[in-house]
Structure 1
Amino acid sequence: MQRGTFQLMKSLNRNIILNKIRLEGPISRAQIAKDTKLTPPTVSTIVKELIDSGMIKESEQGESKGGRKPTMLIINADSFYVIGLDVGPKDIKTILTDLNGKVLKFQERVLFSPMTNHKLLDIMKAEIQQIMDPYSEEEDKIIGIGVGMHGVVDVEQGLSLYAPNLNLRNIPIKEELETRFNRTVKVENDAKALALGEVWFGNGNGAESVVAVNIGNGIGAGIVVDGKLFHGENFIAGEIGHMTIDMGGKQCTCGNYGCLQTLAAGPAIAEKAQKEVAIGRDSVLREMADHDLEKIDGKMVYEGALQGDDLCVQVLKSTGIYLGIGLTNLIHLMNPKLIIIGGGVSNAGDFLMDSLKETVQKKALTEAAKHTDIRVSKLGNKATAIGAVSLLLVELFQ
């Protein structure tokens, strides 16, 4: 689908009719007119345009309230597709979904260092092309591409300003992908994309203020207020991984010392476990790693905890405490209704969450703050890619 067509579809959405159908369908034309205070002829004209564009379709007939049964309207979810990319420090996940966020295709590719801007863009283009190839006869149905990129992103220009874990700067993602694929491209920080995905399709659905925390090789947060992402003045709102927790702590990739992610991200979990095993602590990790301690990673620590290994359980518990301190600071600053934990480290589940919640309950100021709703993402390892898809859907439906 050409970029102009996407703009046309957006213009059809100059009022709330499309979103009304998305949220409340099946719904009748008369009900839309009643709820939106638009005149029935206006509703009928716009509905006809939306049906002609393929965005919505008529479904079953509704209950009669005296007279003819009304024809109900729903989103025509499989009429269009969206591509979403999660570009992390270690891999790229690419998905293709329908308009309801249903994942139709998923693929993953490992990134090897050292990486350059040119090499990363080439890999992204290859992944997008690969996911498009089976849909060559339906290519016009692919309305756009969303990218969740780790690090600091200039959303207006679609530019990756700084990807710290890849040590890259000023990657023109939007410009390169729009030129190559001639489709609308939206680029966002990965944690912010995760937050939006949770609001649209995950645990954040319906909540007005949500913070989604992405904990993997780094830690970032996406802040949603009144359904909209909050970016801050220079696009760094939510960089809680670089909140200083221990001034005398280890140096972070950002150059500062004692950042939260030096204490609680995936590499920190692995490093803590490696050090303890190296000084002689008894653990199943030694055998799991074939006595090569550098092989110990966060996933292995979780697997050890599942086997009841004391060291692994202790490492994850201490990680939860540090995260709890970081989230308490976040609660005191933002006071969100809901905090959602996503990213690879969130797979540790209760080993992490129990001590995290206990820490918040000990340290938060008020009784209500102590019981802030904190949940694990239900979108799993596709959460950020689904969030990247949501970047396009926000444009379309809101």
Structure 2
Amino acid sequence: MSVTSPDLQPGGAQLLERTYAVQREIRKAHRVMAFQQIVDQEGSATRAKIARNTGLNPSTVSTILKELIDDGLVLDGEQAESTGGKPATTLKVDRSVHGILTVTVRPRRFRAALFTLGGEVESTESREFDRNVAPEDLVHFVSTFISNTERKIGVVGLQVPGAQDEGTVLESVQLDWHNVPLAYLIEAATGVPTFVVNDADAEAMVEGAYHPNAAATLYFVHMGGGLGAAIVSRGLLLSGLSGRAGEIGHVRVDYEASEPACLCGVAGCLESVASMRAMLGPAYSEELTSDEISALAADPSAVERLEAGAVALARALRLICAALDIQQVVLGGDAPRLGSAFLAAVQKELNANPAMAARTPSVVYAHPPREAFGVAQYALNRAFGVQWSFNR
């Protein structure tokens, strides 16, 4: 019996293409696994260790590492300590070729930071405006930065306030930008892969770097002038189909409210009760210092609003944590300036009314912020598939 080649059978060409596509994805996954081993164990990773830890064939590991070295991502390092035979050569991240350019966008300011692939900040640059910035201003700023640097920019990460979906800024009230295809505009002007992340997600990525291997899923809440949220698992965002997974800021929690107190137009939304501005009053601004925010929180006139905000936040958290089996909630943004009393009030409400058959999550404040690290981590992962960690 003769067997014809797949491309001569009905549907054979499509089957062959699917097979090739699967093989490409497998090879890509193996490449990421090997690269992540070097990021995790820089200076001690060897070819033999990578093969042992990943289960990959040693010859496959050697082929992948040659590609990573040729691509300027990895370097041979020092010789490892001998265990009796010829000392193995260690591997490390190549910091000399690719750079990660991040830009934090604010209504009248751009703040750029150039990261190495090892996570170090190599340089920073800012530009102030006497008017609100426009998308074309950002395109010019990024293009000029890239043309003026000697380093090869491997990826651009943009941190923008507001909602975004796969590189398009859907709506940013602060910037007054709507449906701006930001990643496309930057890529068209520079030829560099570009990714966009909002403030809450960028801050959540910082927190995720403290828990890269944690089996538990974290729920991160950014508290400032608004209220944003993100879901983090094993150090990475779970963004959902539209990039808005976990967002509860404009879910209604106060059904007695009759007039909207938020730009969303929903009366009694969580942001109108539990954002920093809602709890501390109109004197609050994200431009205030830590001491100034703490002083507002200590003002007796804010006590009732803080109590109401803590209860509303806890009730909203109870629902989402029960649905997603979340074990820890992290409050970031300016929330840590509220002190231990607010944190205790949120935890007390969660403990007092637990959801049946669900574990009550613990609530903690976020680690100290690291400027631009979150957006750099996001860009690194989207472009190269790996992630940095603070606790390895």
Scaled by the length of structure 2, the TM-score of the pair is 0.77
Within a 5 Å distance, the mapping from 1:1-398 to structure 2 comes to: 14-25=31-42, 26-77=44-95, 79-87=97-105, 92-106=110-124, 119-125=133-139, 127-128=141-142, 136-138=149-151, 140=152, 142-155=153-166, 158-199=167-208, 201=209, 203-208=210-215, 209-225=217-233, 228-249=236-257, 250-251=259-260, 252-271=262-281, 302-304=293-295, 309-312=299-302, 315-365=305-355, 369-370=359-360, 372-380=361-369, 382=371, 385-395=372-382, 396-398=384-386
Tell me, in whole angstroms, the C-alpha distance in 1 between the residues paired with 2:73 and 2:89: 16
Tell me, in whole angstroms, the C-alpha distance in 1 between the residues paired with 2:197 and 2:331: 18
Cα drift, residue 55 of structure 1: 1.3
Residues 1:67 and 1:300: Cα distance change in structure 2 (over 3 Å): closer
Cα drift, residue 68 of structure 1: 1.8
Tell me, in whole angstroms, the C-alpha distance in 1 between the residues paired with 2:202 and 2:377: 8
Cα drift, residue 240 of structure 1: 0.9
Paired letter, 1:21: I
| Deviating more after overlay: 67-76 vs 314-323 | 314-323
Structure 2, gaps ≥5 residues long: 1-26, 387-392
Paired letter, 2:118: N
Give the total of aligned pairs: 355
Tell me, in whole angstroms, the C-alpha distance in 2 between the residues paired with 1:183 and 1:74: 24
Aligned 8 A contact 2:206 2:370 in 1: no
Cα drift, residue 331 of structure 1: 1.3
Aligned 8 A contact 1:267 1:298 in 2: no
String of CA shifts for 1:192-232, please: whole Å, max 9, x gaps: 33333432x3x333224222222222111111345553333
2:265 counterpart SS class: coil
Residues 1:215 and 1:123: Cα distance change in structure 2 (over 3 Å): farther
Tell me, in whole angstroms, the C-alpha distance in 2 between the residues paired with 1:99 and 1:295: 31
Tell me, in whole angstroms, the C-alpha distance in 1 between the residues paired with 2:165 and 2:37: 31
Paired letter, 2:378: L
The percentage of aligned residue pairs carrying the same residue is: 26
* Greater relative CO, 1 or 2 (CA 8 Å, sep 6+): 1
1:204 counterpart SS class: coil
Tell me, in whole angstroms, the C-alpha distance in 2 between the residues paired with 1:107 and 1:217: 26
1:27 counterpart SS class: coil
Tell me, in whole angstroms, the C-alpha distance in 1 between the residues paired with 2:102 and 2:287: 31
Residues 1:248 and 1:264: Cα distance change in structure 2 (over 3 Å): same
Paired letter, 1:397: G
Residues 1:128 and 1:267: Cα distance change in structure 2 (over 3 Å): farther
Cα drift, residue 368 of structure 1: 7.1
Aligned 8 A contact 2:211 2:234 in 1: no
Cα drift, residue 112 of structure 1: 7.7
Tell me, in whole angstroms, the C-alpha distance in 1 between the residues paired with 2:321 and 2:29: 39
Which one has a larger percent helix, Structure 1 or Structure 2?
1
1:82 counterpart SS class: strand
Cα drift, residue 74 of structure 1: 2.0
Paired letter, 1:18: F
Paired letter, 1:122: E
Residues 1:91 and 1:319: Cα distance change in structure 2 (over 3 Å): farther
Cα drift, residue 367 of structure 1: 9.2
Residues 1:52 and 1:233: Cα distance change in structure 2 (over 3 Å): closer
Aligned 8 A contact 2:347 2:362 in 1: no
Paired letter, 1:154: D
Aligned 8 A contact 2:203 2:369 in 1: no
Tell me, in whole angstroms, the C-alpha distance in 2 between the residues paired with 1:162 and 1:73: 44
Tell me, in whole angstroms, the C-alpha distance in 2 between the residues paired with 1:83 and 1:225: 25
Residues 1:46 and 1:322: Cα distance change in structure 2 (over 3 Å): same
* Structure with greater Cα Rg: 2
Aligned 8 A contact 1:153 1:159 in 2: yes
Cα drift, residue 183 of structure 1: 0.8
Paired letter, 1:259: C
Aligned 8 A contact 2:39 2:92 in 1: yes
Cα drift, residue 313 of structure 1: 5.8
| Deviating more after overlay: 184-193 vs 219-228 | 219-228
Paired letter, 2:295: G
Tell me, in whole angstroms, the C-alpha distance in 2 between the residues paired with 1:295 and 1:183: 32
| Deviating more after overlay: 119-128 vs 51-60 | 119-128
State the partner residue of 1:281.
none
1:206 counterpart SS class: coil
Tell me, in whole angstroms, the C-alpha distance in 2 between the residues paired with 1:295 and 1:136: 32
String of CA shifts for 1:157-188, please: whole Å, max 9, x gaps: x2112224444321110111112222110123
Tell me, in whole angstroms, the C-alpha distance in 1 between the residues paired with 2:121 and 2:243: 29
Paired letter, 2:300: D
String of CA shifts for 1:376-398, please: whole Å, max 9, x gaps: 2225162xx32221222113034
Tell me, in whole angstroms, the C-alpha distance in 2 between the residues paired with 1:72 and 1:296: 46
2:229 counterpart SS class: strand
Tell me, in whole angstroms, the C-alpha distance in 1 between the residues paired with 2:120 and 2:300: 40
